[in-house]
Structure 1
Amino acid sequence: MNKRKLLEKKEWEYYVFEENNTIELSVPIPNPIPGFDITYTLSEPEREKYLHTGIKALEERIQDMKVNFSNYKMNSWR
């Protein structure tokens, strides 16, 4: 049984998880109310780049998730 493992985080900026050999990026946003965690599963090329370069490889994706949050999976804080 695989567990979801936190790889790295910067509180209230981003969280990076690994589960079943996939990597998921989660970005919390306070608006729209009540606040959401925006999530995205990295593609294989993004995963490899992240594993090689670290969080720098995801900076553009994080910014896009904050601006275009409706294009991603949104989990309400409520």
Structure 2
Amino acid sequence: MNTKKELEKKDWHYYVYEENNNITLSVPIPKPAPGFDVIHTLSDYEKEKYLQIGIKALEERIQDMNDNFYNYQMNSWR
């Protein structure tokens, strides 16, 4: 059975989920309209660092997702 579990969140900044032994980072962005969730599945290295030191390990990734959102999977809020 697939269950998506929220590991942590900071509303309107980031959400971290675990599903099928993968950890996914979701960053909401209001622009371009109508707004999107920018999605990234952590690499093995990122996952290992996240499990060791927490969200601090993903700060650069979150910034990149905000700056270069077109390089990532995007789910529209509509």
TM-score by length of 2: 0.99
Alignment correspondent of 1:19:
19
In structure 1, list runs of 5 or more residues that go unmatched. Answer: none
Residue 43 of structure 1 deviates from its aligned partner by 0.3
Residue 68 of structure 1 deviates from its aligned partner by 0.1
Residue 2 of structure 1 deviates from its aligned partner by 2.8
Question: 1:18-41 CA distances to partner (integer Å, 9 max, x unpaired)?
Answer: 000000000000000000000000
TM-score by length of 1: 0.99
SS at match of 1:2: coil
Misfit runs of 4+, over 2 Å: none
**Counterpart amino acid of residue 50 in structure 1:** Y
Residue 10 of structure 1 deviates from its aligned partner by 0.1
Over aligned residues, Cα RMSD in angstroms? 0.4
Alignment correspondent of 2:60:
60
Residue 17 of structure 1 deviates from its aligned partner by 0.1
Alignment correspondent of 2:31:
31
1:7 paired with 2:10, answer: no
